[in-house]
Structure 1
Amino acid sequence: MRLRTALLATALTTAPVAATMATTITGPYVDIGGGYDLTQTQHLHDFDNDRLEKGYVNHAPAASQADVRDTYSPSMHYRERVRHGDGWTGFASFGWGFGNGLRAEVEGAYNWSGLSGMTFSQGGPRGGSTTGRTQGSDRSYGGFINVLYDIDLKRLFNIDVPVTPFVGVGAGYLWQNVSSNTVLASNSSLNLRQHGTNGSFAYQGIVGAAYDIPGVAGLQMTTEYRMVGQVESFSMGNITQSYNANYGADNSHPSYDHRFNHQFIVGVRYAFNTAPPPPPPAPAIVPPAPTMARTYLVFFDWDGALLTGRAREIVAQAAQASSHVQTTRIEVNGYTDNSAAQPGPRGQQYNLGLSLRRADSVKAELIRDGVPASAIGVQGYGEARPLVPTGPDTREPQNRRVEIILH
């Protein structure tokens, strides 16, 4: 009944809860825990009958020595069943996580359980059994080296919960210490006392789950079930069983069989190198592709700076485009051909001024069409930068122009 209740409690505590993605341990960590221990009934064997027989015979009355010799004959041995009551367990461990789910740790453990009763049976001519009430305790302590594997639910099954199931195995060494006194119910004159310590190889299997604690990186609560087995040597000279009866008293050295502990544990684990996950990278800001400058050409009559009807239409188009397309500035550049109204060296200087008057005419028209004056830059280049290359003193209509450039 106790075993079923503890299993149910462990199953309920391992139910997943909603939060962020579970932690995978990388680097050092510490783990402590404790809980309920249920030790299975153990069996003992005692083969020291030559010594028992001599001890009881020597202390028995002369009339009873034959009966004692027959009862404790060398062909007989004792079998005992030791029943355990409720107990508890505790452990502390230091380990290292490799970042891929595998962990290795060194653990120190302590287990305690009360002893509730003993059944004593014997073989031979006077074989039989009797049950006694036991007072005392049984404890074991030692260490393990464990290897565990954390099951990453997100990576393996795409389940995003703050729970990490784990499984593991361990091997080590445990010392068992016994201190008990049993009064046999059918023979109140016979007391059995056991005391002493013996060590042997031990192993364990582990299954459990870790739960991330919100707001504290690396801190987890754990629940787990452990089955601990301890291999007992057949010659346990360090545990002594004392017999105290009407015929006298003597000691023997019983042998315990395999010991099994079922443990249901709640603990806390802290991983030192666990940092909160980095925030997701900010979306890359892609600058808009630079827009090509739009150019409008306005042409003029020879030696003229007045806008024609067609020229005014082109200026209006440029003004309208500047209001629909994001425009940072507007260039208005004036040009002339390489002919001049004034002959001689003063011709180039005259054309430079003529190109600037043409640019000012276009600027004034843009302002009338709603373009702010502050957005317009004016420049005159004269005969420089011809649109169509020509010979000297050539009246080329396409070179008599103003360029409206929207940036």
Structure 2
Amino acid sequence: MTSVAARRSTALLYAALAGAWLTAAPPAHAQFTEGLYIAGGAGFSLLPNTGLGLDSAAVTGLATAGYGNQATVGFAPGFAGVLSIGWGFGNGLRTEIEGLYRSNDTDGSSGVAGWAADGGISGRQESWGVMGNVMLDLGQIGPVMPYIGVGAGYVMTDWAGVRGLSQNGALRMAVDDSDGRFAYQGIAGLAFPLSFAPGLALTAEYRFLGTLQPRLQVRFDNPATGATVARGTAEPDAYNQSVMLGLRYAFSGAPTAAPPAPAAAPVQHRSFIVFFDWNRAELSERARQIIADAAQQARAQRTTRIEVAGHADRSGTVQYNQALSRRRAETVAAELVRLGVAREEITITALGESQPLVPTADDAREPQNRRVEIVLR
């Protein structure tokens, strides 16, 4: 039967993968696969030693014949391969259908009592099936795109021509059967996009594949007489680890960039103009209304800086107009403060006759040039 340690390690692995899948958030500028893609990989398959997990019929038959009823089969490193077709959603999430194949030759056996001595074992375990995977790309880190995934499906486990012989030659085990079971897997990998081939990436993966225990027909007989000693079923552990290199190709070409975070909306600058009588710096009733509107707007948009610039027309000397434009700006600033605007938020500038709205000759009186501009930033 499946060992408690194996069950616990499987549970911990999938808890970790599930937690990472639920909490991982891709970076804002990661490059993600979008649209149809295909992938494939090949590498090493590693199977742990497994107990046969004999049922009561086999155990009873062996005990009646005076043999022990436990045995462990070991496996050599073998081949692992996958092919898949999938769809990327452009946000790091991918789904795919995968076909898989594993093959490992037997390599040693052991047990207790009459089955204890290793007399040699042959045959192999093969696995093939179909999995549905959900993958999550974790974001570009330099030239590398890490990803994780989980999958579920159906896998056939086949013990092909497995033959074990005790050292004294009195007992032979034969298993030549297959059984399909629910399967699950966890995946962790790295993708290396190839700049010379848009859409193509080299992949390196680790996979843990497990299935519910298959039920395989097993027979024990006496090689000398051909008599059957015991029959029954074996339920070996079915766990596999694999390391693979592969390629993935996205038909849409180069992966698309995730949309950048929306830029902050530009700050809206509002301006107000207050006009003055010739050679005066006092506020008219209309001017007070305009300044009140400016103060209200400053509070509404939470303005942190208000620029108040005074101007004058070209009647009078340059020095006089410079001073007059400053008095006008200071008058407007004082009204803003009276209406509740903090003085430290106001910047006063006197521009004199240097920036007219309406260009005029020297000494000309122009009403539109006698003004103060209020700019909210």
Q: Flag whether TM exceeds 0.5 (same fold).
A: yes
- Asked if 1:96 is matched to 2:80, the reply is yes
- Superposed, 1:174-193 pairs within 5 Å as 174-177=162-165
CA RMSD of aligned residues (A): 5.0
**Residue 398 of structure 1, CA deviation:** 1.2
Cα 1:336/1:328, change in 2 over 3 Å: same
- Superposed, 1:199-278 pairs within 5 Å as 203-209=176-182, 222-227=211-216, 239-241=223-225, 262-266=233-237, 268-270=239-241
Which letter maps to 2:264? Answer: P
Looking at structure 2, the residues matched to 163 and 112 of structure 1 have their Cα atoms a distance apart, in angstroms, of 34
Secondary structure in structure 2 of the residue aligned to 1:152:
strand
- Superposed, 1:99-138 pairs within 5 Å as 100=84, 101=98, 102-108=100-106
- Asked if 1:290 is matched to 2:266, the reply is yes
One of 145, 152, 155 as aligned partner of 1:167: 155
Q: Which structure has the bigger radius of gyration? A: 1
**Residue 289 of structure 1, CA deviation:** 0.6
- Asked if 1:304 is matched to 2:280, the reply is yes
Cα 1:365/1:211, change in 2 over 3 Å: same
Looking at structure 1, the residues matched to 110 and 279 of structure 2 have their Cα atoms a distance apart, in angstroms, of 116
CA contact (8 A) 2:129 2:156 kept: yes
Q: Deviation per CA, 1:292-347: give whole Å up to 9, x if none.
A: 20101100011111111211121122112111212120000111122x23xxxxx1
Could you tell me the TM-score, scaled by structure 1's length? 0.52
Could you tell me the TM-score, scaled by structure 2's length? 0.56
Which residue of the partner structure matches residue 328 of structure 2?
358
Matched residue count = 277
One of 313, 316, 321 as aligned partner of 2:297: 321
Looking at structure 2, the residues matched to 351 and 136 of structure 1 have their Cα atoms a distance apart, in angstroms, of 115
Which residue of the partner structure matches residue 30 of structure 1?
46
Looking at structure 2, the residues matched to 285 and 331 of structure 1 have their Cα atoms a distance apart, in angstroms, of 32
Cα 1:136/1:174, change in 2 over 3 Å: closer
Which residue of the partner structure matches residue 9 of structure 1?
none
CA contact (8 A) 1:139 1:178 kept: yes
Which residue of the partner structure matches residue 333 of structure 1?
309
Which residue of the partner structure matches residue 246 of structure 1?
none
Secondary structure in structure 2 of the residue aligned to 1:393:
coil
Cα 1:220/1:228, change in 2 over 3 Å: same
Q: Deviation per CA, 1:50-97: give whole Å up to 9, x if none.
A: xxxxxxxxxxxxxxxxxxxxxxxxxxxxxxxx9x99664534354535
Identity of aligned residues (%): 28
Looking at structure 1, the residues matched to 74 and 154 of structure 2 have their Cα atoms a distance apart, in angstroms, of 17
